[in-house]
Amino acid sequence: MTVKLAPASSDQRCWIRSELQSYLAELSQFASIEKNAEGQYDYPYLDFYWRERDRHPFIIYLDNDAVGFLLVREDLDPADGTSLTEIAELYIQPAFRQRSVASSAIKEVLSYFPGNWRAAVLPTNDVAYAFWGQLISALDPGFKEVLPASPYNQQIIFSFSA
């Protein structure tokens, strides 16, 4: 079993857009995510990943088959203005979960962008919360976890270094 992370070409944008529908459908269990008039979930930032230098789309492969995607963006920490890299979205198709695919892909992408990182999770998504907490605490025992600060931002933020 070989997990590989590869930058997504513009030709693969349609594949990611299609997979985003499954991903957002799953997330809709934990947050209010509306469908558009065509019955699709909108992800307004997707095209920016091929236009902006600070956004990086990746495809996750397992033994040469595409099984997920990872969207990463470089940003500034609003607390102190230092640079950080954020895991904006991570999705592994359900049939390929529980095989360390996601953690292998995360460890690989961390090597591309050493430094400060951020990942967010919805507090009601117990599986994602457990995954991120376990993975990040193993990578950086000094990680920080910030609980939702307001009713408008309902995400738990993990900050860590790699």
Domain CATH number, residue 153 = 3.40.630.30
Q: For residue 152, what pLDDT band results from cuts at 50, 70 and 90?
A: low
Q: Identify the pLDDT of residue 7.
A: 98
Distance (Å, whole) CA 105 – CA 111 = 10
The encoded tokens of residue 47 equal 């095209």
pLDDT tens, residue by residue, 19-52: 999 999 999 999 888 899 999 999 999 999 999 9
Q: What is the pLDDT of the chain when averaged over all its residues?
A: 93
Query: Which long-range CB contacts under 8 A does 30-34 form with residues at least 24 apart?
Result: 30/122, 30/124, 30/125, 31/122, 31/154
The phi, psi pair for 132, rounded to 5°, reads -65, -40
Distance (Å, whole) CA 109 – CA 70 = 9
With a pLDDT cut of 70, the percent of the chain lying above it is: 96
Q: Number of folded domains in the chain?
A: 1
Residue 53 belongs to what domain range?
3-161
Residue 9 in this model has a pLDDT that exceeds 90: yes
Residue 149 in this model has a pLDDT that exceeds 90: no
Residue 153 in this model has a pLDDT that exceeds 80: no
pLDDT tens, residue by residue, 56-110: 999 999 999 999 999 999 998 877 888 999 999 999 999 999 899 999 999 999 9
Question: 62: burial class by Cβ within 10 Å (0-12, 13-18, 19+)?
Answer: buried
Q: Identify the pLDDT of residue 34.
A: 86
Q: Identify the pLDDT of residue 143.
A: 94
With both helix axes pointing from N to C terminus, report the angle between 126-139 and 101-112 in degrees, rounded to the nearest 10.
Answer: 50
Strands of the 156-161 sheet, one edge to the other: 3-7, 55-62, 65-76, 83-92, 116-121, 156-161, 144-146
Model-level pTM? 0.93
